[in-house]
Each structure stands twice: as C-alpha cells, then as structure tokens.
Homo-oligomer: A and B are copies of this chain.
Amino acid sequence: MAGKVAEKRKALRENLIVLAERQITQNGLSSLRARDLAKEAGCATGAIYNVFDDLTDLILTVNARTFHRLAADVTAALDKAPDVALDQLVAMGLSYHQFAKSDYNAWRAIFDVERDPSTPPPDWYLQELAHLFGIIDGPLSIALPDMDPMERQLFTRTLFTSVHGIVMLGLDDTSAAVQSDAIETMIKLLLTHAVRPLS
C-alpha cells in the first residue's frame, strides 16, 4: 500500500514537471499558475504541495532540466570545435547564444525565477553552475597557461557573465543596446580580444 502511494506521488511529480516545463517553454514563466497546472494534471491545487515545497521548488526543478540541456549543448559544441582554445571558447559562446535563442522562455526562467535571496541557491544549481564553469575552464587554462588558477576561476565567470550580458540584451527586443544580428560578432570580438596572455 505504501509502495502504491509512493508510486502515485512519483507519477504526479513527474507529470507536474512535464506540464510546468511545457507551460514555461510555450508561454513563459510568468504564465505559470498552480491552479491551471492542477487542472491539467487532474489533481487538486493543494496536491501540488504534497510533492513540491512550493511553486518555486517546481520551477527550480524545471530549471535544473533546462540547465542540463544547456550544459549538454555547450559540451557538444566544445567537442565539435577545432583543437584551438580560442575557437573552442567561441564555439561554446555561440552555442550558449543558440540555446538561449531557441529555448528562450526556458532559458529566461533560469534567471527570472523569484527565489528567497536570504537562503543559498539549491545545491543542484550550484553544481550545474560549477559544471558549466568547469567546461569553460578547460580551453581557458590552455589559452592562458600563466594565469593564476584562482584568477582564472574569476575570469571564467567574467567571460561567462559577459557573453550572458550580450545574449540577454541582444535577445531583448525592447533594449536596443545590442542588435540581435550582431550577437555572434560581438561574442567573437569579446573573446578574441579578452583571451590573450597579458604581456
């Protein structure tokens, strides 16, 4: 009996993740409503909170899957790139852009989710982030062999955040700071200039 209850809970959980993911992907994070989700899942609204702490917990679970797809895309771009560190970094930057563009709503949800800032981010988030930074660090350590490893860690985050800034403003139709057709040129320009040993 306990097994059946656990199974049912697990099935509801999975179902809610799939439904929430579809809603976020198709209509954006701001369109997500617990009541609508429950209706689609055929459960009471309160039943959502038997399998998730709150709606944010469910959104973060969807975001974890998005982050996973993103890291897979970036890794695939790295694997396909020529064996030249700068080219590899550019390929990863461009794949970040492609992902954000083609999976815009899910990608935005990673950054737009409202989380209580007084508690640390969930472990999976920190792990996914560390994983992504680890992928970038490989070619960067080859391009900048003399950079202090601690400084390189910071530089990895600097480059990621810079590319993110270009992509974020470039895909935002209302901002006009970056034309969307200039995003790729700007990513290349940034990395070509920034990823050189200081003489």
Contact = CB atoms under 8 A, between A and B. Distances in A.
Contact of A176 (B129, B164, B178): B129
A175 B126 contact: no
Query: In the assembly, how many copies of this chain are there?
Result: 2
A151 B186 contact: no
Contacts of A169: 161, 164
Interface stretch (A4-12, A45-53, A75-83, A112-120): A112-120
A19 interface: no
Interface residues of A, number: 44
A33 B111 CA distance: 25
Contacts of A162: 161-163, 165-166, 190
Interface string A155-191: 1011111111110111011111110001001100110
Nearest to A193: B194
Contact of A164 (B155, B165, B190, B194): B165
A99 interface: no
